[in-house]
Amino acid sequence: MTTEQPIIETKEATIDFNGLVAVDGVNFTMKEGEAIGVIGPNGAGKTSFFNLLTGLFFPTGGKIFFSGKDITTVPPHKRVAMGIVRTFQLVSVFDSLPVVDNLILSTNRINSDHESRGAFFFGDAHRQNKVEQCMDALKLMGIENKAQLMTSELSYGDKRKLELAVALSLNPKILLLDEPFAGLSDMEICEVSQIIQEVKKKFSFVIIEHKISHIIDLVQRLCVMHEGKLIAEGPPAEVLCNAIVREVYWGKEEGLTCSV
Ligand SMILES: Nc1ncnc2c1ncn2[C@@H]1O[C@H](COP(=O)(O)OP(=O)(O)OP(=O)(O)O)[C@@H](O)[C@H]1O
Ligand SMILES: [Mg+2]
């Protein structure tokens, strides 16, 4: 019998901030190519869970595996090089750089091959090739005409798109998006959602989002966090009918009925 290796797996993952247990014994498994949504009330531990997966924090208990390899204490930049790529809840780009340089910088930073770094700075052909790749990522997000602007001049929505372009240009094997629609207009949500729908076929994908309606068509499975624990998971329709989920997510009254 062959068992499919999970792309990412946590065993009893825990982070305890001096008594505040933000992630509490989470067992999470994701198959390659899966698309998962993580939902839960404010303070449930969703971002902290991403921080553990990406190495921003190391767990105080439990283990994290990537393609079967124990990465519990592997630092963030090495995880990015392995293909674990994220975006942040608060948009995170360099305002003082031209837009395209945000992409060039991040793709270069994860490249540990010094020859290739040298080639980037001193070799025109290499730099040109890199710039073209970065322009493709900007094109995908529909902001290629803003490539030479200073990033500080971009609207908030365009900064979100730039952050996503940076993430895509890092060749993710698993992409973790922390509330990518936060602060976007309805039209921008629609645009970004369509792009995610298209590109997510190329990798495994986890998205944190408060508004379930925004992700229901993007994911195959929903995981619900509450007070640091993973309290439910499964196909969206099933999870949304779970009485405990309805109670913690929408309040006691809603826990009683389900019309999904
Ligand atoms: N670095 C930290 N130090 C101390 N406590 C933290 C730290 N990071 C998060 N927390 C706490 O851990 C809990 C979970 O926070 P987290 O940001 O993971 O929740 P969340 O589900 O992402 O919430 P939201 O939906 O509001 O983004 C919160 O009580 C938060 O205050
Ligand atoms: Mg959060």
Q: Could you report how far apart the first and last alpha carbons of the chain are, in Å?
A: 37
Residues 176, 157, single domain; the answer is no
Predicted local distance difference test score (pLDDT) of residue 107: 78
Is 133 domain-assigned?
A: yes
Predicted local distance difference test score (pLDDT) of residue 106: 82
Cα 18 to ligand 1 centre (Å): 13
Residues 40, 16, single domain; the answer is yes
Residues 152, 32, single domain; the answer is no
Best residue among 15, 20, 54 to mutate for probing ligand 1's pocket (most ligand atoms within 8 Å of CB) is 20
Of 126, 135, 190, nearest to 165 by C-alpha is 135
| Contact by Cβ (8 Å): 57, 47 | no
Sheet of 8-17, strands arranged across: 20-30, 8-17, 61-66, 69-70
Query: Final residue of a domain: which of 148, 171, 194?
Result: 171
Cα 90 to ligand 1 centre (Å): 13
Residues 71, 183, single domain; the answer is yes
Predicted local distance difference test score (pLDDT) of residue 1: 47
122, burial (CB in 10 Å: exposed 0-12, middle 13-18, buried 19+): exposed
Ligand nearest to the backbone CA of 88:
2
Residues 132, 166, single domain; the answer is yes
Residues 63, 183, single domain; the answer is yes
The SS3 call for residue 17 is strand
Number of domains, the chain:
2
Residues 144, 225, single domain; the answer is no
Query: Final residue of a domain: which of 171, 197, 224?
Result: 171
Residues 255, 149, single domain; the answer is no
Residues 236, 260, single domain; the answer is yes
Is 117 domain-assigned?
A: yes
Residues 200, 139, single domain; the answer is no
Is 166 domain-assigned?
A: yes
Residues 107, 208, single domain; the answer is no
Ligand nearest to the backbone CA of 41:
1
Is 182 domain-assigned?
A: yes
Predicted local distance difference test score (pLDDT) of residue 166: 93
User: What CATH number is attached to the domain comprising 7?
Assistant: 3.40.50.300
Query: Final residue of a domain: which of 134, 155, 171?
Result: 171
Range of the domain at 114: 93-171
* Cα separation, 163 vs 154, whole angstroms: 12
Is 88 domain-assigned?
A: no
Residues 56, 97, single domain; the answer is no
Is 72 domain-assigned?
A: yes
pLDDT in tens, the chain (260 residues): 445 789 999 999 999 999 999 999 999 999 999 999 999 999 999 999 999 999 999 999 999 999 999 999 999 999 999 999 999 988 889 999 999 989 888 877 666 555 455 555 556 666 677 788 888 889 989 999 999 999 999 999 999 999 999 999 888 999 999 999 998 999 999 999 999 998 888 899 999 998 888 899 999 999 999 999 999 999 999 998 888 888 887 776 655 556 55
Predicted local distance difference test score (pLDDT) of residue 249: 75
* Cα separation, 225 vs 223, whole angstroms: 7
The structure's pTM equals 0.90
